[in-house]
Amino acid sequence: MSEAEDFLKVARAAKDAATVLAPLPRAPKDAALRAVADALVARADEIVEANSVDVAKAREGGTSEAMIDRLRLDAGRVEKIAAAVRQVADLPDPVGEVVRGSTLPNGLELRQVRVPLGVIGIIYEGRPNVTVDAAALCLKSGNAVLLRGSSSAYSSNTVLVQIMQDALAETEVPAAAVQLVPGLTRESVKHLMRARGLVDVLIPRGGASLINSVVEESTVPVIETGVGNCHVYVDADADIDTALTILVNAKAQRPSVCNAAETFLVHSGIAAEFVPRALAALKDAGVTVHGDERVRAHSADVVPATEEDFTSEYLSLDIAAAVVDSLEDAVAHIRRYGSAHTDAIVTRSQQAARRFVATVDSAAVAVNASTRFTDGGEFGFGAEIGISTQKLHARGPMGLPELTSTKWIYTGDGHIRV
């Protein structure tokens, strides 16, 4: 059987499973998710063993430690993945929720209700936890899912999907509702991107090249999740200690994720006091600063920043830095170089905070808080499918409601239109 035929087989099975899954009430879906969580914990040794194969291959191939950190699973991380699945099970079911409704003057009862999207394709890189997070969110929202992870996590993903399917086989949710796209070639991705009619929506998760490729080549509708070139702007009225704490956390708490800060901007009115302390704190955290001339004036350790530095999603212990002369200049910099993911301001001025929030055009804006909070779990959504940086259908962390569409239902009593 060819790769194309293999794909059609799993896609059609997912489509059939979606038909069975869509009308299921909450209870059987929650039971299925808890069965999946229990199975992941019970078979953690299998998962870690398979993951060790992927990690070893990655190291042999010269993959950076930041990327290996995204790939690596251990018993503790498997427990956290299972806990996230249980958290999704505990969340309200969005399917059937009435978005709005009314009784029209003619007596028709009108409702707009949430319904599953159908079959969702997920194309993602590196992190095998996405395999489970995506499946859990899709199942809870009544959707079947086709998962296409990167070849670097193939062993991990294969075992994770098999464990989930085995668990689902003992529940009312069809095992075929969770499928791994067969094949490791570029063509297998294309099959998914061109499966219009079998796949209802695609969600890419990964770097800019992956996302751009899916957006440009897919015939299936795409919800674009963007890269995270996130900024921390330290305003003239910032509290220095607060700003230092937020900056170091935003950059160094976990640098390999999309909500880590990649650039910090400092108002010139506070730069003389803030920049030396920031450089020292970042150095202590192991961070290399790539700065403009005004930042470099404070330390010989600062690497000269290039245009590329200000557009980079480092995903490592590196950060770009610049001094700006006003809040407006900071916003202009963010609009020019940012990715519309998450941008933060540190200030004691409510007026400055309001101006920043109103003028920064990003999916999430933080005031006196780390960029690291832009996350479905931190927002109380449970696991997230991704963080959308586009403006249609969904924006920001995508939880359960963002994995539904709506349908209109109107009920009459023999009504006809005249």
Q: Which residues pair with 146 in a beta bridge?
A: 121, 179
Q: Which CATH class is domain 230-373?
A: alpha beta
- Please report the pLDDT score of residue 385 as a whole number: 85
Spatial contact of 123 and 210, defined as CB atoms under 8 Å apart: yes
pLDDT band at 270 (very low <50, low <70, confident <90, very high): very high
- pLDDT value, residue 382: 67
Say which CATH architecture domain 3-225+398-411 belongs to: 3-Layer(aba) Sandwich (3.40)
Cβ–Cβ under 8 Å, residues 236 and 356: no
- Rounded percentage of the chain residues whose pLDDT exceeds 90: 82
Is pLDDT larger for residue 120 or for residue 63? Answer: 120
CB-side neighbour CA atoms (13 Å) of 41: 14
Residue 271 has pLDDT above 70, yes or no: yes
Q: pTM of the entire structure?
A: 0.85
Handedness of CA 23, 24, 29, 32 (dihedral sign): negative
Candidate from 219-233, 272-286, 404-418 with smallest mean pLDDT: 219-233
pLDDT of residue 127: 84
Q: What values do phi and psi take at 293, rounded to 5?
A: -60, -40
Count of Cβ atoms closer than 10 Å to residue 329 Cβ: 16
Using CA atoms, how far apart are residues 2 and 54, in angstroms rounded to an integer? Answer: 25
Question: Buried (b) or exposed (e) across 354-368, using 16+ Cβ within 10 A?
Answer: ebbeeebebbbbbeb
User: What's the average model confidence in pLDDT over 290-318?
Assistant: 96
Instruction: Tell me the per-residue pLDDT of 45-100, one tens digit each, with 9 for 90 and over.
Output: 999 999 999 999 999 999 888 788 889 999 999 999 999 899 999 999 999 999 99
Q: Cite the residue boundaries of each domain of the chain with CATH code 3.40.605.10.
A: 3-225+398-411
Q: Output the pLDDT for position 78.
A: 97
Reported confidence tier of residue 125, pLDDT bands at 50, 70, 90: confident
If you average pLDDT over residues 302-308, what whole number do you get? Answer: 97
Structure confidence at residue 380 (pLDDT): 81
- Summarised one tens digit per residue, pLDDT across range 153-209 is 999 999 999 999 999 999 999 999 999 999 888 888 999 999 999 999 999 987 778
The arithmetic mean of pLDDT across residues 302-315, rounded, is: 95
- Specify the pLDDT at position 1: 67
Which of 20-34, 111-125, 222-236, 382-396 comes out lowest in average pLDDT?
382-396
Looking at residue 274, its pLDDT comes to 98
Q: Which helix (H) or strand (E) holds 41?
A: helix 26-42
Q: What is the pLDDT of residue 14?
A: 98
